[in-house]
A and B are shown apart, each in its own frame.
Chain A
Amino acid sequence: MSLEGALLVLFLAWCSLGALLAVLLSERRNPTALAWTGSLAAVTALCLGGRILLPGSEIQIPLWTLPGLGNLRLSLNPLGALFLCSAATVYLAASVFSAGYLGRYLGHYSLRSFSVLYHGLFASVVLVFVAGDVLSFLLIWEVMAILSFLLVNYEHDKAENTSAAWLMLAMSEAGTLAAAIALLILAKNAGSLDFSLLAAEGARLLPGMRWAVFLLSFFGFGVKAGLVPFSVWLPRAHPVAPANVSAILSGVILNLGIYGIVLVNMKFLPVTLLGPGMLALIVGSITALVGILYATAENDMKTMLAHSSIENMGIIVSGLGAGFVFLASNHPAFAAIAFVAAFYHMLNHSAYKALLFLGAGTVDSRAGTRNMDRLGGLIKAMPWTALSFLVGALAISALPPFNGFVSEWLTLQSLLRSVELHSAAIGSVFAFCGAILALTAGLAITCFVKAFAMSFLGMPRWKEAGRVFEGSRSMTTPMAGLAFLCLFLGITPTYVIPALDKALAPLTGASAVQALVPPFLRSSASAQLPAGFVSEFHDLGAQVGKGYLPGNGLVVLHRGAERNPVVFAMSTSYTFLVLVLLLAIVFLATRLWTTPSHTVVRKPRWDGGIARLLPIMTYSATGFSSPVSVIFDALLHPRRVEDARETVHEHFRTAIKRRPERAHILDWAIFRHLAAAADAIANLCARMHNGRLNAYVAYVLIALVGVLLLS
């Protein structure tokens, strides 16, 4: 057996050991055991992913052969390995975090069953990436779906959780059904269940069937990824799960939807149609906008993060859509950039969303509430959590030098490349979507300024504020780790992009690295360039530090011919270095030039001279986001406002009660009607059940005749 195979077996062994220990050990010792086995499994999975991704190799492990259906096998290619690595990273953080976090459930809910489900979910997630044929893929996908349902429903005695979990399961099953049909169409076309054969035969499908496969797979897997309009389950299900599971749901399970879409539409089907890409781009950008709007208006920390996950999935799918369009119009290099942007964003999202969910979990477990209207001032009690959360918030707001900036910048830049397509229609769609994504980016900053400021800054607004303390070290360490990862991914795009490129180049047929870095910057090429040209760019700063700094410091997008490049440059690495240098210089300068007699005087905050500034006199989260609610009133307008007043003697108000009831636009515009229709159909069916035996006999007969006629 190869080393990779051995690693896979070792990984499964860790997961099994985890499940076994969970049953054997006492409840109290379960969290620690889970942390150990989960982390070891995650490290093993990381090794496995790295072994595949870095050299760009591929493994095939045949399992057995089904007569007439072909081989069942496990296979892992760089694409799967990429997903695997991101999943394993999130799992590593979540597992360590669990050691400190799970204690809050001790005595209330069974930690044994949690641990079993947790390891089971991890194993099934990894196996989804490893599945090499339709049958095992669908089987493991189902297992994954059911395990995540059970984890969402972990606090099973709460009605809210149960209904959210059932909604998630129902929508996920419907999505799986659609995806399964798509896969079966492909399998029928190829005459085999084997993924490698599927890919080889995909080109033979007729355009009509391709559209069908695209729509079924895009929206089928899109349910898992939370694409509009099938995102309604996400903001309900993600927040109710324990925080470590929420991190996994947002950082890992959502990516599975992306994996499915990419698997079917890039690997199995060659991209030749423009339409699917455009559709993906439009759906993606609308998803992003809807997600961030609801995130901004939301006050529950975890629900806000869930809405923001929808937004990020939208950005990723926009990138994918742009890539599809470029690929279909024979611009593989641009496509490669777009895909790099999309997958880079996916990696980033996994990192910072896991970080933010863990942060939210820490806040929830320590403060006892996730309502940002009531939180505040946590930075004093939990500085490390606050710092990590701040890094996550900066990263998700796409501010340099953190990772979100790189991928969102690349996404927007690749959308701008649409000018190369010479089509006004496509160009305007790209421009429209680009504008929506830019708006989304702006709103994201509002949203996370609010999230951080309302929770960690200002005055605490809830009663038990005095009793809050920092999360245990096992909780803060993984957050710090993820925060470092966000910084790392942000300042080393020149290392991350080639790694992504290895996974994506086989799919696009072009290398983003080649496209991203102008030829004159590659060391081999610069020797052949005219000296004047090099010196010109030297003056422009394109080669600053060349030879002194490790690696390519500069991420460059360029367009135009090789001899006449127009350069759009961005370098987070240099930005970061310059930033650090500047800060250091300023610090040293102030230290050197100011005399030590200048003492820092701290004065109480200026409150207008009021006798006592009460917490209720400070801005609330609702207040902070209410300008956004006013501007996007059409979308965020409350469907019903309960407005009651009580007065004494007509003019003295003793109570003004306002309860705006916000319904998600999708719930209100689509799913309300769907639910009504389902109800109606169920009622119709119920009429058939009149309890008379001969009626049922007649049904059986009719069904039999129908089946006979069909066959």
Chain B
Amino acid sequence: MRGWVFTGLKTGIKSTRYPEEEEKRPGVSPGLPIAGGNSLGLVDICPTNALLASNGQVALEYGRCVHCFRCARAAKSAPLDWSSGYEWADLSAKAGETAVEFGQNGFGRSLHVLVVDAGDCGACLSEIAQLNGPYYNMHRLGIFITPTPRFADVLLVVGPVTEHMREPLRKAYAAMPTPKRVVAIGVCALSGGVFVPSFASGSGVADVLPVDVVVPGCPPPPLAVLHGLLVAVGRKPPSRMFVSQRPVEERTPVL
């Protein structure tokens, strides 16, 4: 046992300084495409209709981008640029009055999170699991994962919400004490991602629960998930750059 203690000490501090400082280690985020440019040919390439033509420019609906990289590696026209960065979380369009303003801390210093897998492919869950590891170590921010909704402040949902998981998800939300927040993690939880339209899964969490914070990405890297949690409790400002330009109802069916 003594050996383990030394091993631990010898390893030194690996944790990121985020959110105090920006994380600069390479490979923490796959980035996202940057909207703009006039290579409208890309709009047809996008398999999930995340790229839109808007006033002669390429607009982006980040809630649909599944990281297929087709727009970045397109051979036909000028590819889209990719941003690095990971502060992708934003307040959901429906959050409205329940949203916590930045700086208004609704949950004190400690936050308990229930993670519900509503049909994800495993990548989002894996990224959330990384938050427990030494590199991201969300415990230092007072954030803990709890196995039961009874102690949970935040419901973290991944996956498009399959038919079979809809009821369990509802039950978990109902079992949480108030005040509570719902954070939808990943494109599937935002729009269903590549899995819609389908008989077996819905198009995101918003159809089932009132979502407060959305984190795009396929999967969103650990720091984006962390940003989402901090946004949910008002400890970080939301990134206003990813708000969907169009109301939900007008979305064209995918594929």
Contacts and interface: CB of A to CB of B under 8 A. Distances in A.
Contacts of B168: 608-610
Interface in A576-610: 601, 603-604, 606-610
Which of A606, A610, A611 is packed against the most chain B CB atoms within 10 Å? A606
16 contacts: A601-B177, A601-B178, A604-B171, A604-B174, A604-B175, A606-B148, A606-B149, A606-B172, A606-B175, A608-B168, A609-B167, A609-B168, A609-B169, A609-B172, A610-B168, A611-B167
- Nearest 7 CB-CB pairings of A with B: A609-B168, A606-B175, A609-B171, A603-B175, A609-B172, A606-B150, A606-B148
A606 B152 CA distance: 12
A608 B175 CA distance: 10
B119 to A, nearest CB: 13
A603 B174 contact: yes
Contacts of A609: 167-169, 171-172
B232 to A, nearest CB: 21
The prevalent SS among residues of A at the interface is loop
Which of A604, A608, A609, A610 is packed against the most chain B CB atoms within 10 Å? A609
A294 B149 CA distance: 38
Contacts of B150: 606
Contacts of A601: 177-178
Nearest to A608: B168
Please classify how large the interface on chain A is, using the bins under 10, 10 to 19, 20 to 34, 35 or more: under 10
Interface in B156-200: 167-169, 171-172, 174-175, 177-178
A609 B169 CA distance: 7
A198 B111 CA distance: 78
Contacts of A608: 168
Contacts of B178: 601
Contacts of A606: 148-150, 171-172, 175
A601 B177 CA distance: 9
A600 to B, nearest CB: 12
A601 B178 CA distance: 10
B168 to A, nearest CB: 3
Contacts of A604: 171, 174-175
B177 to A, nearest CB: 8
Which of B167, B168, B171, B172 is packed against the most chain A CB atoms within 10 Å? B171
Nearest to A611: B167
Contacts of A607: 171
Contacts of B169: 609
A2 B229 CA distance: 86
A603 B150 CA distance: 10
A601 B176 CA distance: 11
Contacts of B171: 604, 606-607, 609
Given A606-B150, A607-B171, 17 more contacts: A601-B177, A601-B178, A603-B174, A603-B175, A604-B174, A604-B175, A606-B148, A606-B149, A606-B171, A606-B172, A606-B175, A609-B167, A609-B168, A609-B171, A609-B172, A610-B168, A611-B167
Nearest to A609: B168
A53 to B, nearest CB: 53
A611 B168 CA distance: 7
A610 B174 CA distance: 14
A608 B169 CA distance: 10
Which of B167, B169, B175 is packed against the most chain A CB atoms within 10 Å? B175
A481 B180 CA distance: 47
Interface string A549-590: 000000000000000000000000000000000000000000
Contacts of A603: 174-175
Interface in A609-644: 609-611
A52 B198 CA distance: 87
